[in-house]
Amino acid sequence: MQVPSVTDRLELSCDVLVVGGGTAGTMAAISAAEAGARVLVLEKAHVRHSGALAMGMDGVNNAVIPGSATPEEYVAEITRANDGIVNQRTIYQTASRGHDMIRRLERYGVKFEKDAHGQYAVRQVHRSGSYVLPMPEGRDIKKVLYRVLRERSMRQRVRIENRVMPVRVLTDAGRAVGVAGLHTRTGEFVTVTAGAVVLATGACGRLGLPASGYLYGTYENPTNAGDGYAMAYHAGAELSGIECFQINPLIKDYNGPACAYVANPFGGYQVNNRGERFVDCDYWSGQMMAEVAREIASARGPIYLKLTHLPEETISALEGILHSTERPTRGTFHAGRGHDYRSHDVEMHISEIGLCGGHSASGVWVDEHGATTVPGLYAAGDLACVPHNYMIGAFVFGDLAGTHAAGSFVTPASLPADQVAEAHALVYRPLANPDGLPQPQVEYKLRRMVNDYLAPPKTAAKLDIAVETFDRMRAEIAALGARTPHELMRCVEVTFIRDCAEMAARASLVRTESRWGLYHDRADLPHRNDDDWFCHLNLSRDAQGTMRFRKRQVAPYLVPVEGFTPPAAGVEEVIAVQPDRPGRSDQHTVAHGEPAPVPTSDGAVLAVLRLAEQQPSLEVLEPYLRDPDADVRRTALLTLTESAPEGTAPALVAALADDDPAVRAAAVAGLRELADILPADIGQSLRAYTASPDVTVRTLVVELLRVTGAGQRADFTAALVDQAAGVRTHAVRGLVRHRDTASLASAVTDPSREVRIAVAHALGDLADSAAIPAVVRLAADPEVLVRAAALRAAATLRCPEPLTAMAVAGLTDPTWQVREGAALGLAGAPASVAVPPLLDAAHDGNLDVRRAAVRVLGNWTARPEVAALLRAAADGDTDADVRAYARRALTAPAPGAPG
């Protein structure tokens, strides 16, 4: 391709520019548009499947739902997890706005798990705090956001440009006035004049090299190369906590989350090679990562996610989630090695290092509205330094930044020509040198050096070499060659990675202490030094191109946290380091073959796919829904689901009667996807299909009747005698809402084990004493898992006789599942009966049984024999969970019932 001249460019303008259409960016755009601004979204990939949520998400890591947790608890948790170095005002935003955000997303059609009573099913995954809200159907989340962005009212205000990648934020008199970048397909030069700029470009995921050596096999979406970090830095904004790296535990080699947050509520857990749980930390933190790294390196390594002990149904349910959302190729990976969750525990490892405000704390410094230190410039999502913000925090801060930007943008007069020219040179320099160094080799070397000298454990000597190496590599990066727009994109990304590597090395040198466990583990300075370093370390580039560091005081806490007191010291300038050397900007013209025009054909499938981009009405799609070809009907249903125009629900329901199973499956998937935005009267039309010969259709019908709340008691009692066990299981859950103990009790003889287990759980949930005979019957069931569930349900029924005797006997059952259920059930029994056998159970050979016994015994810490046992367990048990629960029971002021 030819180098375009600086003036030959696409010039765009808007009130609020959003860079990056991922999680935070889409929400920023929606909120800014709702606040009345003209919005432009520039996305380097395609908004539909970009960013961390490209294939959805399987849970909210940090939902603060009233009833499960308070904003204050959450703020304290994150303060502890981040060793005190937080601006609590920012964390408080996520804590106090997360619940509304979840409800807003639900209105848009995103599905979150609900319990049998229709409440958000928040799970306690860590030993402290209940913040995890599963999204077993979370694969559609990005699709939903994309649909909202393209609704008619939005489309008038929001313009989306895919495959456009800004490389620099332009400033005038210190204020952000726009960006410059390139179209990554055509190579066209692009500038935008904007009243405010929101950077939402995600983490720096391409910093460390994954152990596999594959450049794009990163934990983060590798599209996120650290673009926003470099752009904010060059615009003069402050960045903070860059020395607090992101490192995550993940499936070894696959390099994606395992995902313990999903597996844990199903009974999966992490163990070392001896089968012991080893993580002592109560919440996700750098400390926890240090424990993981230490265990892997010890005689007890490697480590595994243990699932093999779970029953078949649990494993298939887990597979249903793990192999369809977030990182759906997990299944492909395991299958490729001949591994299976039934026979192989999953080997885990720690990831390469990255920068990420949303997982650790390395990001652009922002206030509680997402504003950076540069007027008119905002940062949101993983890019912003709001520790542990994850997905829901990205949404909250996208909303805050978009709203604030829409309320305070200032339309600039013009763009600074010198900065436009510099950005142009940055982008097109490699074209001048088509035979220059290839990006894959340069990037590989750069990131290998990151692993060698920057990854913890860090030492000053290694970090010095890192700084020198990254400085030397400027010359190699200046010698990069490219021939196509795609290569230009990759080359400029390498400059972002280098910038991030230099910031990370220098910041790690400046903070002369260890903090945040593995994230900033300085082997040469192994101790935390609160006297000198209880502060943020911020860095920025001054007008001369010098990287400057300053200590920023930790603002007084909103929520006091024991063990952490921010000192009342002032801001201190610390250190200045070498200036940037501006790159050469000579350009040559290079010949290259233009991409061929894409041919068109008018196949009906193609026609429907094209319509998808235009938000078609039902009328337009109608003929395709009736097409004789099943492929066309199926594609039309997918398009209909994607755009969800007026009348979608009845059209999808009608397709449940299609002759072709694949078409019916598409209708089922569509209805499930849209469950949260179905009209209230959907129940009536669904009932016509309760006798469908297709079991997937019948399952869907009961499921929808249940989740939409449209189902009557009679619907579920009828479904309780369906031929298919899956339908009956949904019926059981539906009957909980109607508190129909009698019908549930009638199902204790159901031929399916899964249904009987569901009944046991349901009866436990209802806690109705009329259910006691049914639970007794289930507690004598021939199936182990049914007995276990029934004994566990006894707890809420106050464990009356004969359940007490059955539970006591159950503690010596040959199967650990029954022993665990029995221990949990005894929580409802009087102490005099429960304590003696539980003291024995606390020495059980199985770690889950011991954990259950210890948790239940925590109810009776006033008894000396219990306290003595807990003290011994807290010190001496081989299982970290048992130790931790014993410790917690001993320190808890007023023991509550175990959950």
Ligand X SMILES: Cc1cc2nc3c(=O)[nH]c(=O)nc-3n(C[C@H](O)[C@H](O)[C@H](O)COP(=O)(O)OP(=O)(O)OC[C@H]3O[C@@H](n4cnc5c(N)ncnc54)[C@H](O)[C@@H]3O)c2cc1C
Distance in Å, CB of 325 to ligand X, minimum = 9
In the list another protein, ligand X, none, the entry touching 53 (Cβ below 5 to 8 angstroms by class) is ligand X
In the list another protein, ligand X, none, the entry touching 595 (Cβ below 5 to 8 angstroms by class) is another protein
CA distance 590 to 484: 10
Token duo for residue 204: 């720096």
Q: Residue 563: left (phi > 0), alpha (psi -120 to 50), or beta?
A: left
CA distance 719 to 319: 26
Q: Which amino acid is at 149?
A: L
- Number of Cβ within 10 Å of residue 713's Cβ equals 14
Q: Which of 68, 171, 221, 538 binds ligand X (CB under 6 A)?
A: 221
Within residues 226-245, the interface with ligand X by CB under 6 A covers: 227
Within residues 634-673, the interface with another protein by CB under 8 A covers: 634-635, 638
Distance in Å, CB of 217 to ligand X, minimum = 12
Residues 6+ apart with CB under 8 A from 236: 171, 174, 373, 374, 540, 541, 542, 543
Distance in Å, CB of 255 to another protein, minimum = 7
Distance in Å, CB of 654 to another protein, minimum = 21
- Number of Cβ within 10 Å of residue 289's Cβ equals 26
Q: Which of 40, 42, 682, 779 binds ligand X (CB under 6 A)?
A: 42
Q: Which residues on neighbouring strands pair with residue 189, listed in sequence order? A: 9, 182
Within residues 589-628, the interface with another protein by CB under 8 A covers: 595-596, 598-601, 603, 605-606, 609
> DSSP state, 220?
S
Q: Which residue has the tokens 């066309």?
A: 632
- Number of Cβ within 10 Å of residue 629's Cβ equals 13
Q: What are phi and psi of 579, to 5 degrees?
A: -70, 155
Residue 596 or 680: which CB sits closer to another protein?
596
Output the CA angle 876-882-885, nearest 5 degrees: 115
Alpha-helix runs per DSSP H in 708-815: 713-719, 725-737, 741-745, 753-766, 772-779, 784-793, 803-810
Distance in Å, CB of 86 to ligand X, minimum = 17
Q: Which of 37, 165, 561, 874 binds ligand X (CB under 6 A)?
A: 165
Q: Which of 10, 35, 54, 465 binds another protein (CB under 8 A)?
A: 54
Q: Which of 56, 84, 98, 166 binds ligand X (CB under 6 A)?
A: 166
Query: Maximum CA pair distance of the chain?
Result: 89
Q: Which of 22, 109, 195, 236 binds ligand X (CB under 6 A)?
A: 22
In the list another protein, ligand X, none, the entry touching 202 (Cβ below 5 to 8 angstroms by class) is ligand X
Position 481 contacts ligand X (CB under 6 A): no
Q: Which of 220, 352, 521, 754 binds ligand X (CB under 6 A)?
A: 220
Position 201 contacts ligand X (CB under 6 A): yes
Q: Which of 4, 20, 136, 566 binds ligand X (CB under 6 A)?
A: 20
Q: How many residues does the chain have?
A: 899
Residue 132 or 776: which CB sits closer to ligand X?
132
Distance in Å, CB of 202 to ligand X, minimum = 3
Distance in Å, CB of 594 to another protein, minimum = 10
Residue 209 or 755: which CB sits closer to ligand X?
209
In the list another protein, ligand X, none, the entry touching 609 (Cβ below 5 to 8 angstroms by class) is another protein
Q: Is 148 exposed, middle or buried (0-12, 13-18, 19+ CB in 10 A)?
A: buried
Within residues 147-176, the interface with another protein by CB under 8 A covers: 162-163
Distance in Å, CB of 136 to another protein, minimum = 17
Position 422 contacts ligand X (CB under 6 A): no
In the list another protein, ligand X, none, the entry touching 600 (Cβ below 5 to 8 angstroms by class) is another protein
Q: Is 627 exposed, middle or buried (0-12, 13-18, 19+ CB in 10 A)?
A: middle
Q: Which is nearest to 269 in space by CA: 845, 881, 898, 889?
A: 881
CA distance 382 to 405: 18
Q: Which of 96, 172, 222, 718 binds another protein (CB under 8 A)?
A: 222
CA distance 490 to 510: 30
CA distance 479 to 434: 10
CA distance 559 to 62: 18
Position 358 contacts ligand X (CB under 6 A): yes
Position 21 contacts ligand X (CB under 6 A): yes
Q: Which amino acid is at 844?
A: D
The region of 185-193, 385-393, 435-443, 823-831 touching ligand X under the rule CB under 6 A is: 385-393
Q: Which amino acid is at 248?
A: N
* 175: enclosing H helix or E strand: strand 175-183
Within residues 490-519, the interface with another protein by CB under 8 A covers: 490
The region of 483-491, 584-592, 820-828, 865-873 touching another protein under the rule CB under 8 A is: 483-491
**Orientation of helix 880-891 relative to helix 847-857, angle to 10°:** 0
Distance in Å, CB of 92 to ligand X, minimum = 18
Distance in Å, CB of 205 to another protein, minimum = 9
Distance in Å, CB of 637 to another protein, minimum = 11
Question: x/- site string to another protein, residues 19 to 48, per CB under 8 A?
Answer: --------------------------xx-x
Position 195 contacts another protein (CB under 8 A): no
The region of 232-240, 390-398, 410-418, 639-647 touching ligand X under the rule CB under 6 A is: 390-398
Position 363 contacts ligand X (CB under 6 A): no
> DSSP state, 204?
B
3-class secondary structure, 294? helix
Q: Which amino acid is at 436?
A: G
Buried b (16+ CB within 10 A) or exposed e, 400-429: bbbbbbbeebeebeebbeebbebbbbbbbb
Within residues 525-584, the interface with another protein by CB under 8 A covers: none
Residue 596 or 894: which CB sits closer to another protein?
596
Within residues 278-337, the interface with ligand X by CB under 6 A covers: 326-327
The region of 116-124, 249-257, 520-528, 824-832 touching another protein under the rule CB under 8 A is: 249-257
In the list another protein, ligand X, none, the entry touching 328 (Cβ below 5 to 8 angstroms by class) is another protein
Is the C-alpha dihedral spanning 260, 263, 267, 269 positive or negative? Answer: negative
DSSP output for 295-337: HHHSTT-SEEEE-TTS-HHHHHHHHHHHTTSSSTTHHHHHHHT
Distance in Å, CB of 328 to ligand X, minimum = 11
The region of 256-264, 403-411, 441-449, 595-603 touching ligand X under the rule CB under 6 A is: 256-264
In the list another protein, ligand X, none, the entry touching 347 (Cβ below 5 to 8 angstroms by class) is none
Distance in Å, CB of 360 to another protein, minimum = 21
Q: Is residue 231 within 8 Å of residue 166, measured between CB atoms?
A: yes
Chain centroid, CA 233 distance in Å: 26
In the list another protein, ligand X, none, the entry touching 165 (Cβ below 5 to 8 angstroms by class) is ligand X
Q: Which amino acid is at 546?
A: T
Point out which residues bind another protein (CB under 8 A): 45-46, 48-51, 54-55, 162-163, 184-185, 212-218, 221-223, 253-255, 327-329, 332-333, 336-337, 435-437, 481, 486, 489-490, 595-596, 598-601, 603, 605-606, 609, 631, 634-635, 638
Give the footprint of ligand X on this chain (CB under 6 A): 19-25, 42-45, 50-53, 57-61, 165-166, 200-202, 220-221, 223-224, 227, 256-257, 261, 326-327, 358, 381-383, 390-392, 394
